């Protein structure tokens, strides 16, 4: 049964004790142990580099043309760490507490505490690698604040923190490639986990250029393959982000944890038409200075500049006077949806709200005029000065907005709407990051463990690197120490033969359908079902409908999808088809999980479970558990519960009023 293997002892001693007592593999034996790592984002690249340094024989796989392109690269805002460089009261405990509370009391305390403990080491490591974090004039590191906290603990590199951290990990990875400790397989996609005697012993991967299937042995397999937000078709994920590796593991017996926990980010550029292929995030930092509003009148067609102040509804400030525009992501997203659904949305689609910088420009302009001793400055001068200040703080974001929309956000309020951004759910793992398949691990966004039902800003980068640099080097050794007598298993072993045949059969089946509709056709349809019925708000009726609709769509897919070209060549449509086939199964499980969880918590909002004023209502008596789902066959999932105990953080109702 589910054993989370949380070490005994007080919360702040668990990880220390674990490190002191876990088993080790001596250097001579490490040289004979092979580790397969799938995915080269922050978690995968940092794990590959660290394990290569330790002397393991590592094989790393990514579907992109280079490991540097993994979607961690697109993270904007920053990375949290309990350094307390600002002397503003931060500590390991406070970071731990904020994360558990921010996750609406649905995360595992022991994992989160370990995350907070190693957070400081991450910053040290990245700086040592030459990651150019923002600095103060004295040469010290700079920090900024982020949502859901009262301290400044976020380290950043302009709006490109993910890029800089990933390039640091990628450089470390390439160094190990040069040293021969890591073999890199770019443009390779993992399509099956191979298990022998109940242990993960390798993978089947497809060379995306030649289409050839390859068998790779490993004493252990690490999945660092990110989240599954693209099940919604439109999301802020990269086009290639997918659930395939995690889903193949699920079908092989790994449990999937809390699949319904999805983060919808409030500030994204809205959909502009049916052609839309993806959505673009505008950093949460914009809510520091921008004011969010809609017209007080329904279906108001006036230009924003023609709507006078008294006819604007600053609904976040109205509903949440204590936090105003800086409420957490889940709250801000639901509030925007509520206004748009009620007919107050703006823009041609009416699915948008304004994010307005006019007040900030004026406020900064006045401060700047005072600084420069300009008394009686004209309002034009104040506006000009204010725009300069805003450009310095948010220039790259404003430029991006202008490129995409063709509008000038310094003059016209930006239009924004929530979009799928991150998935807190993922493969169920124990304290050692091992899934329910022995020897199969999941790191980073691919696992479920640290963010509960809602992730705080700047915590995803922290978790990916914590898992890869500082957790897996210990926990993997603890497993492999008992495996040193296992020789490399030849890949003509029947388990490899059978796994490859299974993959080949699936590809053949898909290619032979020769239907009439493109892969995107099905993906878009699935996305619409998920967004309408398993998106920002969910209810029993909708979820039950969605399950049936997804089953029908899946059937239609397997009868009518059209994949041009051949299987034995570079064929992006075939790659997409495989991923969408897996999304069509995962989507159903997400709805099953959402249906089962008859409470609202974090990003999961069940309309039946809300307070009188429309806030999320948790049900700790009945749902303080991790829902770990076991795949039992098509449309058959068995629920296993891991009860959550809160020793240090006692659950309370979150309030931002």
Partner 1 sequence: MEHYNMNLTLKVWRQKNTDAQGHFETYPVSGISSEMSFLEMFDVLNERLINEGKEPIAFDHDCREGICGACSMHINGRAHGPWAGTTTCQLHMRAFKDGDTVTVEPWRAGSFPVVKDLTVDRGAFDRIIAAGGYVSVNTGNAQDANNILVAKDKADAAFAAAACIGCGACVAACKNSSAMLFVSAKVSQLALLPQGHPEKKTRALNMIAQMDSEGFGSCTNTGACEAECPKEISLTNIARLNREYIVAGFSYEK
Least Å from the CB of residue 375 to partner 1? 31
Least Å from the CB of residue 575 to partner 1? 11
Nearest residue to 223 via CA among 426, 51, 25: 426
Binding status of residue 137 toward partner 1 by CB under 8 A:
yes
Binding status of residue 225 toward partner 1 by CB under 8 A:
no
Local structure of 184: helix, strand or coil: strand
Least Å from the CB of residue 415 to partner 1? 12
Q: Are 222 and 441 in contact (CB under 8 A)?
A: yes
Binding status of residue 164 toward partner 1 by CB under 8 A:
yes
The nearer residue to partner 1, 134 or 488, going by C-beta atoms, is: 134
Q: Are 110 and 176 in contact (CB under 8 A)?
A: no
Number of residues that bind partner 1 (CB under 8 A): 80
Distance of CA 329 to the CA centre of its chain: 14
Least Å from the CB of residue 449 to partner 1? 21
Residues 490 to 519: which contact partner 1 by CB under 8 A? 518
* The token pair that represents 39 in the structure block: 């995915």
Residue 487 burial (CB count, 10 A): 9
Distance CA 164, CA 161 (A): 5
The nearer residue to partner 1, 569 or 607, going by C-beta atoms, is: 569
List 2, 158, 391, 481, residue binding partner 1 (CB under 8 A): 158
List 80, 125, 267, 454, residue binding partner 1 (CB under 8 A): 125
Distance of CA 302 to the CA centre of its chain: 37
* The token pair that represents 331 in the structure block: 């709250």
The nearer residue to partner 1, 273 or 633, going by C-beta atoms, is: 273
Residues 278 to 297: which contact partner 1 by CB under 8 A? 278, 280-281
Q: What residue has token string 């409908």? A: 545
List 132, 198, 321, 343, residue binding partner 1 (CB under 8 A): 132
List 23, 31, 135, 372, residue binding partner 1 (CB under 8 A): 135
List 19, 144, 175, 252, residue binding partner 1 (CB under 8 A): 175
Nearest residue to 475 via CA among 536, 442, 432, 426: 432
Binding status of residue 121 toward partner 1 by CB under 8 A:
yes
Least Å from the CB of residue 127 to partner 1? 4
Which amino acids are annotated catalytic? 329
Tally of helices (H runs) and strands (E runs) in the chain: 18, 19
Distance CA 258, CA 627 (A): 5
Could you say which DSSP state residue 616 is in? B
Half-sphere exposure of 403 (CA within 13 A, CB side): 8
* The token pair that represents 581 in the structure block: 């086939």
Site string for partner 1, 422-461 (x = CB under 8 A): ----------------------------------------
The nearer residue to partner 1, 67 or 603, going by C-beta atoms, is: 67
Region of 3-11, 170-178, 364-372, 531-539 interacting with partner 1 (CB under 8 A): 170-178
List 17, 23, 88, 130, residue binding partner 1 (CB under 8 A): 130
Site string for partner 1, 454-493 (x = CB under 8 A): ---------------xx--x--------------------
Region of 304-312, 325-333, 416-424, 566-574 interacting with partner 1 (CB under 8 A): 566-574
Q: Are 579 and 242 in contact (CB under 8 A)?
A: yes
Site string for partner 1, 63-92 (x = CB under 8 A): -xxxxxx-x-xx--------x-x-------
Whole-number CA gyration radius for the chain: 25
Site string for partner 1, 370-409 (x = CB under 8 A): ------------------------------x--xxxxx--
Nearest residue to 240 via CA among 227, 250, 249: 227
Could you say which DSSP state residue 309 is in? G
> DSSP string of 369-399?
HHHTT-TT--HHHHHHHHHHHHHHHHHHHHH
Binding status of residue 301 toward partner 1 by CB under 8 A:
no
Binding status of residue 180 toward partner 1 by CB under 8 A:
no
Binding status of residue 209 toward partner 1 by CB under 8 A:
yes
Residue 274 burial (CB count, 10 A): 6
The nearer residue to partner 1, 407 or 540, going by C-beta atoms, is: 407
Pairing of strands 182-185, 57-61: parallel
Pairing of strands 57-61, 256-257: unpaired
Residue 91 burial (CB count, 10 A): 14
Could you say which DSSP state residue 487 is in? P
Least Å from the CB of residue 630 to partner 1? 32
Distance CA 335, CA 323 (A): 13
The nearer residue to partner 1, 139 or 490, going by C-beta atoms, is: 139
Half-sphere exposure of 460 (CA within 13 A, CB side): 27
Least Å from the CB of residue 78 to partner 1? 14
Distance CA 254, CA 447 (A): 11
The nearer residue to partner 1, 161 or 195, going by C-beta atoms, is: 161
Least Å from the CB of residue 366 to partner 1? 27
Region of 95-103, 238-246, 451-459, 595-603 interacting with partner 1 (CB under 8 A): 238-246
Binding status of residue 572 toward partner 1 by CB under 8 A:
yes
Binding status of residue 160 toward partner 1 by CB under 8 A:
yes
Q: Are 575 and 598 in contact (CB under 8 A)?
A: no
């Amino acid at each position: 049964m589910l054993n989370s293997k949380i070490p005994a002892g007080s919360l702040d001693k668990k990880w220390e004790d674990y490190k002191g007592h876990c088993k080790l593999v001596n250097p001579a034996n490490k040289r004979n142990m092979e580790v397969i790592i799938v995915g080269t984002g922050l978690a995968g690249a940092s794990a590959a580099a660290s394990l290569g340094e330790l002397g393991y024989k590592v094989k790393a796989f990514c579907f992109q043309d280079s490991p540097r392109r993994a979607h961690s690269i697109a993270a904007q805002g920053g990375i949290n760490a309990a350094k307390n460089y600002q002397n503003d009261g931060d500590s390991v405990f406070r970071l731990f507490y904020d994360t558990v509370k921010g996750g609406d009391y649905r995360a595992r305390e022991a994992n989160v505490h370990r995350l907070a403990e190693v957070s400081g080491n991450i910053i040290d490591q990245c700086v040592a690698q030459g990651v150019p974090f923002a600095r103060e004039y004295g040469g010290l590191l700079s920090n900024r604040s982020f949502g859901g906290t009262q301290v400044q603990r976020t380290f950043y590199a302009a709006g490109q923190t993910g890029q800089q951290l990933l390039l640091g990990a990628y450089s470390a990875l390439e160094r190990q490639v040069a040293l021969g400790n890591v073999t890199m397989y770019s443009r390779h996609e993992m399509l099956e986990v191979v298990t022998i005697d109940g242990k993960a012993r390798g993978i089947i991967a497809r060379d995306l250029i030649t289409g050839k299937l390859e068998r790779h042995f490993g004493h252990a397999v690490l999945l660092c393959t990110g989240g599954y937000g693209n099940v919604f078709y439109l999301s802020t994920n990269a086009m290639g982000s997918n659930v395939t590796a995690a889903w193949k593991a699920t079908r092989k017996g790994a449990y999937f944890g809390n699949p319904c926990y999805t983060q919808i980010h409030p500030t994204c550029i809205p959909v502009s038409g049916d052609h839309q292929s993806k959505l673009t995030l505008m950093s949460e930092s914009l809510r520091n200075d921008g004011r969010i509003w809609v017209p007080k009148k329904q279906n108001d067609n006036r230009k924003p500049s023609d709507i006078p102040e008294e006819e604007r509804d600053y609904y976040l400030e109205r509903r949440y006077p204590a936090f105003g525009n800086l409420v957490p992501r889940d709250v801000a997203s639901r509030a925007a949806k509520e206004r748009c659904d009620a007919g107050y949305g703006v823009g041609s689609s009416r699915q948008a709200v304004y994010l307005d910088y006019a007040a900030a420009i004026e406020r900064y302009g006045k401060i700047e005029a005072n600084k420069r001793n300009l008394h009686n400055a004209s309002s034009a001068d104040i506006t000009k000065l204010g725009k300069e200040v805003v450009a310095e703080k948010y220039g790259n974001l404003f430029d991006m907005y202008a490129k995409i929309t063709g509008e000038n956000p310094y003059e016209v309020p930006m239009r924004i709407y929530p979009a799928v951004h991150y998935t807190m759910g993922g493969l169920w793992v124990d304290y050692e990051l091992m899934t329910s398949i022995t020897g199969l691990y999941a790191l980073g966004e691919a696992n479920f463990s640290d963010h509960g039902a809602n992730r705080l800003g700047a915590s995803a980068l922290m978790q990916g690197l914590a898992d890869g640099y500082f957790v897996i080097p210990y926990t993997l050794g603890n497993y492999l120490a008992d495996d040193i007598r296992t020789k490399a298993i030849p890949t003509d072993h029947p388990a490899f033969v059978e796994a490859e045949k299974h993959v080949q059969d699936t590809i053949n089946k898909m290619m032979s359908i020769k239907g009439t509709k493109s892969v995107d056709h099905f993906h878009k349809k699935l996305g619409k079902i998920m967004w309408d019925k398993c998106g920002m708000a969910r209810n029993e009726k909708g979820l039950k409908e969605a399950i049936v609709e997804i089953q029908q769509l899946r059937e239609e897919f397997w009868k009518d999808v059209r994949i041009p070209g051949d299987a034995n060549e570079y064929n992006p449509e075939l790659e997409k088809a495989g991923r969408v086939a897996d999304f069509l199964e995962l989507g159903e499980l997400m709805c099953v999980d959402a249906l089962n969880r008859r409470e609202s918590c974090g990003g999961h909002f069940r309309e039946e479970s809300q307070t009188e004023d429309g806030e999320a209502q948790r049900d700790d008596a009945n749902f303080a558990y991790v829902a770990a789902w076991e795949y039992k066959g098509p449309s058959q999932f068995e629920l296993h519960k891991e009860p959550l105990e809160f020793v240090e953080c006692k659950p309370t109702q979150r309030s931002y009023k």
